[in-house]
Amino acid sequence: MNLRHRGARSRALPMLAAALFGLAAGAAHASDNKIALIPGGPHPYFAPWEQAGKDAAKDFGIAAVDFKVPAEWKLNLQTELVESLVSQGYTAFGIFPGDAVGINQTVEELTANNIPAAALAGCAQDPTKMSFCLGTDVFNSAYLGTQALIKSLGGKGKIVHLAGLLVDPNTKLRMDAVEKAVKETNGAVTIVQHITDTDAQEAADQKINALLGAQKDEIDGLISTAYIPSVVAAKSLRNLGDKRIKLVGIDDDQIVLDGIKDGFVAGTMAQNPYGQGYVGAYVLDLIASGTCTVKADAPWIKTPQTEHFIDSGTLLISNDNAATYKDDLKKITAEIQSTFKDKYLTCK
């Protein structure tokens, strides 16, 4: 049940973008690689990966790019799925780590069998044999989100952090990020408390409403770093009719977007799942074919989790760009894909 956060429903991200870049880059080198894109478990965030995989297969002439979902959010189900796909002849894996640390042993085994793997959407914790991590920088996203919240509060106030599963290592990172952003205000902003384990609907509903019930007059802002509490908090503020408390959430759930439109939510941190799947498949194909290798001295971003990070694009959706952010993400995807080879790979 790990990492049930982030997520969005940008299914709509059209093939258009794919077709655009596909014509340029793909079709030339048909490959017989079978690539699997594996999320941590069933979650709406990953839905765009299916289309992204299909598009990538078509655009880049890959034999197969399949979206394979573990039956539940359990690390062992994810690793079993990976293992069985190896038995079925898959040659590369794009994985959202069901656990940032726990996945590494499996990746190590994959690379020992000359099967490359990349972390998509979320990173594995270094040291890891993942070729690279293309995703949302967990720390940075939480940091930027908190900064956005602080800005909307006018630089002062009391905030509460709503976080995901406590036993997930990423949760600790997010807590640190929030605290870092708060510390930079030199005491103008204070954290009242971190509320964790809010990734299940009912738990989130209960805890967040309890928080609002008890302290709605004392707190000024909410930063949510997980998918479900973002949705629940947006909804609760709307019920309460409270526009005073500012909320910055994560992901573009319809409820959150509506909240932004109606002024109950200050903003939300968008992620780019389609781009992660699409670019991830493209690069994995190059690596698995032996055409390219990962460059050691590329301009990687260093994060607390890994030294081989590529930002798939994080941007704040607010009232200003709620209508256009999808196009922004498309641009980012195109940009990453077209420059990836030169920036990060050494190719024959």
Which residues are CB-neighbours of 147 under 8 A, at least 6 positions away?
181
CB of 258 to other proteins, least distance (A): 9
CB of 296 to other proteins, least distance (A): 22
CB of 249 to other proteins, least distance (A): 15
Q: Which of residues 197 and 335 has its CB atom nearest to other proteins in the complex? A: 197
Q: Which of residues 80 and 311 has its CB atom nearest to other proteins in the complex? A: 80
CB of 77 to other proteins, least distance (A): 8
Q: Which of residues 255 and 298 has its CB atom nearest to other proteins in the complex? A: 255
CB of 49 to other proteins, least distance (A): 11
Rounded distance between C-alpha atoms, residue 59 and residue 272, angstroms? 19
Q: Which of residues 61 and 102 has its CB atom nearest to other proteins in the complex? A: 102
Q: Which of residues 216 and 295 has its CB atom nearest to other proteins in the complex? A: 216
Structural tokens at position 301: 């971003």
Rounded distance between C-alpha atoms, residue 95 and residue 39, angstroms? 6
Which residues are CB-neighbours of 339 under 8 A, at least 6 positions away?
none
Q: Which of residues 180 and 207 has its CB atom nearest to other proteins in the complex? A: 207
Q: Residue 76 phi/psi, 5° resolution? A: -70, -30
CB 189 within 8 A of CB 179: no
CB of 346 to other proteins, least distance (A): 28
CB 140 within 8 A of CB 314: yes
Encode 206-237 in three state secondary structure.
Answer: HHHHHHHHHHCCCCCEEEECCHHHHHHHHHHH
Which residues are CB-neighbours of 272 under 8 A, at least 6 positions away?
136, 312, 313, 314, 329, 332, 333
CB of 11 to other proteins, least distance (A): 8
Structural tokens at position 90: 């898959």
Q: Which of residues 110 and 181 has its CB atom nearest to other proteins in the complex? A: 110
Q: How many CB atoms lie within 10 A of CB 49?
A: 29
Supply the DSSP symbol for 113.
Answer: T
Output the DSSP codes for 294-340.
E-TTS-PBP-SS-SSEEE---EEE-TTTTTTHHHHHHHHHHHHHHHH
CB of 81 to other proteins, least distance (A): 6
Which residues are CB-neighbours of 177 under 8 A, at least 6 positions away?
138, 139, 140, 141, 142, 143, 146, 225
